Chain A
Amino acid sequence: MNYKMAEKNELSFEKAIGQLEELVDKMESGQLPLEKAMEAFEKGTELVKRCEELLAGYEQKITVLKREGSTVEEAAFDLKEEL
């Protein structure tokens, strides 16, 4: 169970939402026995939480690539400054 939890924390948004959609489809197909359906519900709720966390966590970053000699660096990009 712990291993599965760790796996979930690694999930990217696209993967998590993909899994969630698959899960909901499976539940709605009516093929799952009651116990499996409850397990799916639990997992689904965890995935929703994970997606919401991810969405809220993204921080806006606007950068510009600058060549420093032979290397390329990344610096904050100031729109006003450049204009």
Chain B
Amino acid sequence: MDRMTVTVTQLNEYVKDSLAENPVFSDITVSGEISGLKLHSSGHIYFSLKDAGAVIRCAFFKPQNFSLNFKLADGMKVLARGRVTLYVRDGQYQLNVASMQKDGVGELYLRFEQLKAKLAKEGLFDPAHKRSLPSFVKKIGVVTSPTGAVIRDIIHVATRRFPGISIVLAPVQVQGEDAPRSICTGIAYLNDRQDVDVLIVGRGGGSIEDLWGFNDEAVARAIYNSRIPVISAVGHETDFTIADFVADMRAPTPSAAAELAVTEMSQLVGLLERLQVRLENNATQQVRENHLKLQRLSASSALARPEMLLDVYHQRTDHAARRLELSGEAVLNGGEQHLKAVSAKLYALNPLAVLARGYAVVTDTEGINILDAARLLPKSTVNITFAKGRASAQIEKTEQ
């Protein structure tokens, strides 16, 4: 037999060295669930880490375990960082833990990223959907804890900016299991009212677990579907929850939220004053302009000396009269005498004047004047026009 034979010690040492040589095993982080936890009187901690298919023994020696800042318990999900080694004496393979943290947090961050991606895809964070805040706010609705700095800060800042402001608080749980349902109810009640102009939804600073209610999907949808615009104010300036992404506006602090919501009284008064000044200036200017226009018009010659207009007509009449006079035989002196003489002549030539002397006009049935009796046949009809009235007659006989 050529096979090498080793002792148990040699075997265990060999495996231990193999593990030690591999850098992967000298610093590795394992996630699992604690079981069989033993807090030894020596100060060392012993437990097993398990998952669905396997288990490994762990030792967390002091003084390293002094860094532990939470209480260990069976069933708790953890991340254990350390070195994998084999104990020669008992052949036990175990993880020598250097530090530990709760895996709960890691899980929460994962869930946060997943929900954020899901809601972003649905369009809940879409900038186009975000409403602008009303330019004048007289009543704010606040969804937060009735105790603590948040409501206090909002009241202080809002009332300072606009003394006439009204605030309605919907008191809710801002952490714990009931928080999501409570926050949604608060948003719903305020949405039912007709007098609230804007909502502030928020809470003070805390850990990711404390803020978790504001990463809830139902809360996100309640904010998205809110008829009233929502300002979010969750945690510290550096905290960003899903509520912050969905809200119409995100404020880094509750005081900032109140500043965003409420327009300062002095600004409104100033705006009114400026508008009034513009009104008065414009009105004064209009009157002044029209006054100038009037002045210019009255200075123009047509209005200043209206008798000038008549002069033109006088001239025209004179011209007309002169032309009449020239067509006649008599040359008389003076303007009016001219006219009289010419009009007398015209009158004499007037056919009506002839009729007035006893003459009559005889026309045939066509209306044409008869000048020659020879045109007339016995028994034909003629019309006679007198100075006054007409007659129709029948011819008896004619002679030349």
Contact = CB atoms under 8 A, between A and B. Distances in A.
A60 B164 contact: yes
A30 B315 CA distance: 44
B163 A60 contact: yes
A72 B192 CA distance: 11
Interface string A33-71: 010011001001100100110010111111111000000
Task: Give chain B's interface secondary structure class.
Answer: helix
A17 B271 contact: yes
Given A24-B278, A34-B290, A65-B170, A52 B272 contact: yes
Contacts of A21: 275
Nearest to A47: B275
B186 to A, nearest CB: 8
Contact of B279 (A13, A24, A32, A83): A24
A13 B197 CA distance: 13
Given A41-B283, A72-B189, A82-B146, A65 B171 contact: yes
A38 to B, nearest CB: 7
B282 A58 contact: no
A58 B134 contact: no
Contacts of B168: 63-65, 74
State which size class the interface on B falls in: 35 or more
A64 B163 contact: no
Given A34-B290, A48-B272, A60-B166, A79 B155 contact: yes
Contact of B282 (A37, A59, A83): A37
A33 to B, nearest CB: 9
Interface residues of A, number: 35
B283 to A, nearest CB: 4
Nearest to B141: A65
A51 B148 CA distance: 36
Contacts, number: 101
B155 A55 contact: no
B136 interface: yes
A62 to B, nearest CB: 5
A14 B134 contact: yes
Contact of B286 (A13, A34, A61, A62): A34
Which one of A63, A65, A72 has the highest number of Cβ atoms from chain B below 10 Å of its Cβ? A65
A75 to B, nearest CB: 10
B269 interface: yes
A83 B138 contact: no
Contacts of B189: 65, 72
B115 interface: no
Contacts of B162: 58
Contacts of B186: 65
Contacts of B276: 44-45, 48
A65 B136 CA distance: 23
A51 B279 CA distance: 15
A48 to B, nearest CB: 5
B135 interface: yes
A34 B268 CA distance: 30
Nearest to A18: B135
Interface string B145-164: 01110011001000100111
A82 B168 CA distance: 15
Contact of A63 (B148, B169, B280, B282): B169
A37 B164 contact: no
A59 B164 contact: yes
A52 B265 CA distance: 11
B272 A44 contact: no
B165 interface: yes
Given A27-B286, A55-B268, 20 more contacts: A14-B134, A23-B279, A24-B278, A24-B282, A27-B282, A37-B286, A38-B283, A45-B279, A48-B275, A51-B272, A57-B164, A58-B162, A59-B164, A59-B166, A60-B166, A62-B166, A64-B170, A65-B170, A74-B168, A83-B148
13 contacts: A17-B136, A28-B278, A28-B282, A44-B275, A60-B165, A62-B169, A63-B166, A63-B167, A64-B146, A65-B171, A77-B146, A79-B155, A83-B147
Interface of B: 134-136, 138, 146-148, 151-152, 155, 159, 162-171, 186, 189, 265, 268-269, 271-272, 275-276, 278-280, 282-283, 286-287, 290
Q: Which 8 A-B pairs have the closest CB atoms?
A: A58-B164, A41-B283, A61-B166, A64-B169, A44-B279, A27-B282, A37-B286, A62-B167
